[in-house]
Structure 1
Amino acid sequence: MARKKNYKAELQAVANGFESVDDEMTVWLPRNPRHSRKIDHTQYLGFGFDSWAIQSIYVIRALLNGGRSAVATLVGYSSGLRYFLVFLKSGVLELSPETPNKLTKRHLERFISWLKLKYPNGSTAKNYYTSFRSLLNFLIEYGFVENAAEELFPPNPFPNNDERTKDASPLSMGEMQRLIKALKLDLVSIHKGTFQGNNAECMTVMLLITAARSGVNTTPLLEMHRDALQPHPFIPSLRLINTVKRRGKGAQTKTIRQADVLDKYNAISLDGVAVLNKALEMSESLVKLAPDEISSYVWLYRSGQRGALNNIVALTSGILNVTIKKFCKRHALNNDQGNRLVVTVSRLRKTMESRLWKLSGGDLLEVASVMGHTPQVADNHYLKINDEIKVEGAIFVGEAFPDKLRGLSITPTPPGGCKDSLHGDLAPKDGVTHCSEFIHCLSCPSYAIVGAVADLHRLFSYQKFLHAEIEYFLTDEWADWRKRQLNYIELIDNFTASQFDHELIEQAKHQAAESPHLFWAAKIDFMRKKIGEKF
């Protein structure tokens, strides 16, 4: 029988320890995107609930020192406690829990009801409760609360909350085109040295372009290190951006396109690599002058604030919000309804995640030319096809791959192989669902292929699918898109010719021509059937 943990002895030991450190109610924070400098629990003392303040600050300090949580998350925990203490001080409860260990499920149910009455709209009530609940989980883990989480927390206290809250929505094609045009105008001015905005606005322009090109989240983007840009292992026109996503407790890798950038100002490309290199170049001289905690960051600039003109600072989320609003106002950017356009890194990420963006390979300027006079026609036309053939592909994967997708260092996929189909760059990362973004494998850093006929057969079958797509989209508005597909076809030929034996390649090509991999064969047959319906 497992030994039962003695919570009371541990609680007593911790409480005794606090008698000598009652002055340590403040936790000083390192630099963080919220720009918070400290978490101060002295404000929570003297109301009859000192144990809550003391034990919570102990947990928060431990989490900070252990690197288990982002600073912004810890600030949220303290805010969650603040609202719970406001609830206790309101007198709603006849007998309030003076310590965390006296908390019951009934107390939490009353707290939830109080939040709902106080904040009836949106997700405010849920956010405050979620922050407090997260803190409670750690109070349980550290032994300050004896009850287990499943005995304490009410199930599903905010049902249907998602229906009342709006997630960041992607920009429409028209909105994105207007944004790109404005960014290009500012980028030209930056290269010419005629940009009229301040240093923070200059860096914001280049950060927005990098965000639109990479899809990196806000905090990892702001804290991106100067050595983040790395070569892509497979595709010369791509680079990898390595950043740290704290919530995922590890590194994340994103691809970013590198194009030929012309020297003439009017031909400057919105190329992610070139723009990021420009930001690195402009901030290079500031590295030695910057405080140690930000000297490794990309988005450094001289402060424009009065009395601090020579101070070296880095973009923060707060400054970014201000400079983006100024950017939209300067260019008079409106949304499709005629109101001022709201631009955030989250919206750019959502836009990049859309299938239309993926179709373009991430090149919005090329998408604009592909779309022509009616963007919705091309969008709906192509996506409808993808939705239909995706069903057939999903059925095939479900029947044929389950045994092969387990226990292999390289997972077989329709275009070749994957280093990690569960947690790769484009995978859902839920630990259960394997990645199915096979059309985008070649631009994914997790893509892998070995010199075996089976792998090359899959790759050349995918190449045959690309040919079939080109045959289907023959109208003029798809000319630029066809050129990109032809580049992928040529890339596959050049790469395999330089890496694998000629006889092996010919054998795999012949096999793909005679009998394409079933996954791609289903898609090819579908498009050929559609072509037949046209004529």
Structure 2
Amino acid sequence: MGKRKVFTKTDLSVPQIEHSLDTIGNVVILPEAIPPKNTMVTFGHNSTNTRGFDFARWYGVEVDAITYACQRQIERFLVGQDSTASITTVVSYCNSGLCRFLDYCVLQAMAFERTLTLNDVNRMLIDGYLGHLFGQGTATTNQKSCYAKTKSVLLALAQRGLFPLVTSGDEATFPRNPFPNSNRKSKGETALSKRERQGVAAALRQAIKPLWNDDTIITGDLLVFALLVIALHTGRNTTPLLEMGRNCLRPHPKDDTVFLVLWKRRGYNFSKVALRAESKGDRVLEAMPAVRINVERLIRRVMALTEPLDLEAPGSFKGRVWLYRNPSNNKVVTLQENTLNRGIGRLVVDHGLKDSDGKPLRINISRLRKTFANRIFELTDGDLAITASALGNTPRVADQNYLAPSESARRNWQFMGEILVEELLAATIGATYKENPLGRCADPVNGQFAPKREGATCMNFMNCLRCKHYVVTAEDLYKLFSFYFRVLAERSRMDKRRWAREYAHIPRLIDHYIIAEGLRRGTFKAAAVDDAREHARTQPHPFWSVDLIDSLEAFYE
């Protein structure tokens, strides 16, 4: 018996682009389809304030075919076709990408004095669009964002055969890397300092007090303050926190612990973080000891207060935690990013939160996440694996994007080379200098980085290179190079990015300041330098042997 033929069903509700092919295979949009009866695309509920986008102004201006194809593609995205992008992402395609691209296409049609079709979407048009974005004078990161959102729509059209897609070569439709090194031009968020973190914690502790009152009225601001406490303690991202469901607390194998489970839309996965359950002793969360509050108890309190509102919530909000009544129309709504930003602004103003420059403190979820990451890193004595696990990232991502250099590393990077050169090449080197494992020191008891305690000698050798009491002579080169190679050996013992932050400057300073300047002034002879370097490489000074000292961190203050 022959194999039965299976017919594929077509969903007629999925938006289609009405088109035909001409004699040479080019796509031609059917004239009767343009403009469509409804030029407005409706988004429905999402985390932005945008509920619709009207393509009407790009019809009748010589770019109808491109406009029509883009509108239909957006409609397809919204019904789950060709992409798994969220509604918020599709909104950004329109507001940040297509509006600029279609404006540029109108300018091109006017310049060419003809109608643009889908066949005009090629490398020349894309290069012109990139130049148009550049000419608007916005930041490179903003140009990159606009281009990426435009490309997502155009690429979906090309992959469906609506216009030819060239994937390689000089004529590739989309250039391979139109914004080289753009990551170096943007500054990510920074973690709050210890003083700032303590100020935010104290302000939040006061701000959420009304939640525990019996007659409390749930407002958007009150929910924002509760959400910020959770963000400060758990380091979760904005969207998973805003979309937190009423089943977010799950059992944990340990009796005194629960899981906070949040859905990560971009990763299509759940994020889990362990929380201390409420106990009689009101135990302090170990991640943020500045805030004496039990996060699990806080979440349960918010859910209890908002449970009656869940019965009235519309379908898209049902099951959410952050529900409250809109004071203008008394309808049940949920927290969104704009509400979150307004609440943060009120917290900063009401509690007078300032940064180190005396300006109003800038707070957002990204800064709280980085603060959480650095606090975990600090409490675990620099354990990158634990920190990455707490964030839900890989060690590489955690180290590259979340961890800030330590205070000692920042001080080392501020080393003043010229001052050091003058000191170590001064003509006053003599009997007053005491030997140490790195060279010689004028005052190992009361020196710049000495403990300055009776009977205590300075062992802070990691700071020798920037200490005004440190000097090195030709006889000390062996010790100096032994330390040099010991620092290089640390690369294989720790994460490479951490080594680059905290140690990489040391060999560079030795090479470019001490040795180079000593050779230039004749203080060191080239042969002596080479001999000391080779001796230290093959037989390092016993003090800087790996067998003797397990970690150089022992010499950090």
TM-score (norm: length of structure 2): 0.60
Q: Aligned match of 2:173 in 152, 158, 175?
A: 152
Q: Specify the alignment match of 1:31 in structure 2.
A: 45
Q: Specify the alignment match of 2:295 in structure 1.
A: 272
Report how far residue 358 of structure 1 moved: 3.9
- Is the CA contact 1:32–1:72 (under 8 Å) kept in the aligned structure 2? yes
Q: Specify the alignment match of 2:223 in structure 1.
A: 203
SS of 1:247's partner is coil
TM-superposition CA deviations, 1:438-481 (whole Å, max 9, x none): xxxxxxxxxxxxxxxxxxxxxxxxxxxxxxxxxxxxxxxxxxxx
Give the distance between the partners of 2:263 and 2:548, measured in 1 at CA.
Answer: 41
Give the distance between the partners of 2:553 and 2:127, measured in 1 at CA.
Answer: 61
Q: Comparing 136-145 with 117-126, which one deviates more in the overlay?
A: 117-126
- Is the CA contact 1:139–1:145 (under 8 Å) kept in the aligned structure 2? yes
Q: Aligned match of 2:145 in 121, 124, 127?
A: 127
Report how far residue 131 of structure 1 moved: 1.1
Relative distance call for 1:532 and 1:32 in structure 2 (3 A) is closer
* Structure 2 residue 110 is the aligned partner of structure 1 residue 71: no
Give the distance between the partners of 1:277 and 1:107, measured in 2 at CA.
Answer: 55
Report how far residue 120 of structure 1 moved: 4.1
Q: Specify the alignment match of 1:252 in structure 2.
A: 270
Relative distance call for 1:144 and 1:337 in structure 2 (3 A) is same
- Is the CA contact 1:119–1:125 (under 8 Å) kept in the aligned structure 2? no
CA RMSD in angstroms comes to 3.9
Give the distance between the partners of 2:27 and 2:118, measured in 1 at CA.
Answer: 15
Between structure 1 and structure 2, the one with the greater Rg is: 2
- Is the CA contact 1:232–1:240 (under 8 Å) kept in the aligned structure 2? yes
SS of 1:313's partner is strand
Give the distance between the partners of 1:210 and 1:18, measured in 2 at CA.
Answer: 55
- Is the CA contact 2:256–2:278 (under 8 Å) kept in the aligned structure 1? no
TM-superposition CA deviations, 1:10-30 (whole Å, max 9, x none): 998894497298213322222
* Structure 2 residue 365 is the aligned partner of structure 1 residue 337: no
- Is the CA contact 2:26–2:163 (under 8 Å) kept in the aligned structure 1? no
Relative distance call for 1:20 and 1:252 in structure 2 (3 A) is same
* Structure 2 residue 312 is the aligned partner of structure 1 residue 289: yes
Q: Specify the alignment match of 2:234 in structure 1.
A: 214
Report how far residue 243 of structure 1 moved: 2.5
Q: Aligned match of 1:116 in 134, 158, 170?
A: 134
Report how far residue 70 of structure 1 moved: 0.9
Give the distance between the partners of 1:88 and 1:351, measured in 2 at CA.
Answer: 44
SS of 2:79's partner is helix
Report how far residue 179 of structure 1 moved: 0.5
- Is the CA contact 1:238–1:257 (under 8 Å) kept in the aligned structure 2? yes
Aligned-partner residue type, residue 84 of structure 1 = F
SS of 1:56's partner is helix
- Is the CA contact 2:258–2:277 (under 8 Å) kept in the aligned structure 1? no
Give the distance between the partners of 2:135 and 2:34, measured in 1 at CA.
Answer: 40
Report how far residue 190 of structure 1 moved: 2.5
Q: Specify the alignment match of 1:230 in structure 2.
A: 250
Q: Aligned match of 1:82 in 77, 87, 99?
A: 99
* Structure 2 residue 259 is the aligned partner of structure 1 residue 240: yes
TM-superposition CA deviations, 1:29-60 (whole Å, max 9, x none): 22110132113222321111111121111111
Relative distance call for 1:426 and 1:154 in structure 2 (3 A) is closer
Aligned-partner residue type, residue 286 of structure 1 = L
Report how far residue 529 of structure 1 moved: 6.7
Report how far residue 262 of structure 1 moved: 5.5
TM-score (norm: length of structure 1): 0.62
Report how far residue 258 of structure 1 moved: 1.4
SS of 1:240's partner is strand
Give the distance between the partners of 1:225 and 1:185, measured in 2 at CA.
Answer: 26
Give the distance between the partners of 1:145 and 1:303, measured in 2 at CA.
Answer: 47
Give the distance between the partners of 1:526 and 1:32, measured in 2 at CA.
Answer: 60
Report how far residue 152 of structure 1 moved: 0.5
Relative distance call for 1:528 and 1:274 in structure 2 (3 A) is farther
TM-superposition CA deviations, 1:265-300 (whole Å, max 9, x none): x99932221211111111011111211210211000
- Is the CA contact 1:243–1:252 (under 8 Å) kept in the aligned structure 2? yes
SS of 1:283's partner is helix
Report how far residue 252 of structure 1 moved: 2.2
Report how far residue 345 of structure 1 moved: 1.1
Aligned-partner residue type, residue 90 of structure 1 = L
TM-superposition CA deviations, 1:211-241 (whole Å, max 9, x none): 12222221121111111221234x5444323
Aligned-partner residue type, residue 228 of structure 1 = C
Give the distance between the partners of 2:555 and 2:359, measured in 1 at CA.
Answer: 43
Give the distance between the partners of 2:192 and 2:141, measured in 1 at CA.
Answer: 23
Relative distance call for 1:27 and 1:88 in structure 2 (3 A) is closer
SS of 1:123's partner is helix
Greater relative contact order structure (CA < 8 Å, 6+ sep):
1
Higher helix fraction: Structure 1 or Structure 2? 1
Give the distance between the partners of 1:273 and 1:133, measured in 2 at CA.
Answer: 43
Q: Specify the alignment match of 1:191 in structure 2.
A: 212
Aligned-partner residue type, residue 73 of structure 1 = T
Give me the identity figure in percent.
24
* Structure 2 residue 198 is the aligned partner of structure 1 residue 172: no
Report how far residue 359 of structure 1 moved: 4.2
Q: Specify the alignment match of 1:316 in structure 2.
A: 336
Give the distance between the partners of 1:526 and 1:328, measured in 2 at CA.
Answer: 51
Give the distance between the partners of 1:43 and 1:26, measured in 2 at CA.
Answer: 11
In structure 1, list runs of 5 or more residues that go unmatched: 1-6, 362-381, 391-414, 416-420, 438-518
What pairs up with 1:340-489 in 2 under 5 angstroms?
340-354=360-374, 356-360=375-379, 382-383=381-382, 425-427=392-394
